[in-house]
Amino acid sequence: MTVVFGGLCLISKDIVLLTRLVDSAQCREVTDNYPQYFTFDVENWFSCDDNYAVISEDNIGFAEYKKPGVYWVHFCFNSARGREAINLTRDMLLKLVKERPVSVVVGLIEVNNRKARWLIRKVGLRSLGEITTENGLCEMFYSSSEEISNGYV
């Protein structure tokens, strides 16, 4: 069970601090380690007020505004792995739906990134199948804000 108090999340016995990330330089400290996945212009991304990011230590969750109610999510876990990454993803999604007008979250993961696809399935997002993008073949995942808020994710 996860309990959220502002930016402080309690996951079973662990306390995880999730804070809103607004500093593009701090973001680059993490995302620059993964140039194959984070090719966007970070400064430009942060200039859009509707985009939303949270950070816990060196792990970042991004929510990119697409249209009213729709956010595309991306996660960059520099140190979190396994169960910790699953719980952190759930907490990041919960914080997003509590602080933004979200109806649905969507994630695109390259099919060759098996670890990320495994993680997002364990979190509880459902697959919509594979689609071809400018980055190649990807699998699309989604969840509603109600599912996230009610603990189904």
Give CB contacts under 8 A, 24+ apart, made by 2-6. 2/87, 2/90, 2/91, 2/94, 2/151, 4/91, 4/94, 4/95, 4/98
Q: At what angle do helices 82-99 and 114-123 cross, to 10 degrees?
A: 60
| Local structure of 62: helix, strand or coil | strand
> By mean pLDDT, which of 21-30, 92-101, 119-128 is the weakest?
21-30
**Beta strands per DSSP E along 6-103:** 8-11, 14-17, 19-20, 52-56, 59-67, 70-77
Higher pLDDT, 51 or 25: 51
Contact 63, 53 (CB under 8 A): yes
**pLDDT at 14 > cutoff 90:** no
Give CB contacts under 8 A, 24+ apart, made by 19-27. 19/54, 19/55, 19/56, 20/52, 20/53, 20/54, 20/99, 21/53, 21/54, 21/55, 21/60, 22/46, 22/53, 26/55, 27/53, 27/55, 27/60
Q: Which residues pair with 67 in a beta bridge?
A: 70
38-93 residue pLDDT tens: 788 888 999 999 999 999 998 999 999 999 999 999 998 989 999 999 999 999 99
* pLDDT category of residue 34 using cuts at 50, 70 and 90: confident
Predicted pLDDT of residue 101? 95
91-120 residue pLDDT tens: 999 999 999 999 999 999 999 999 999 999
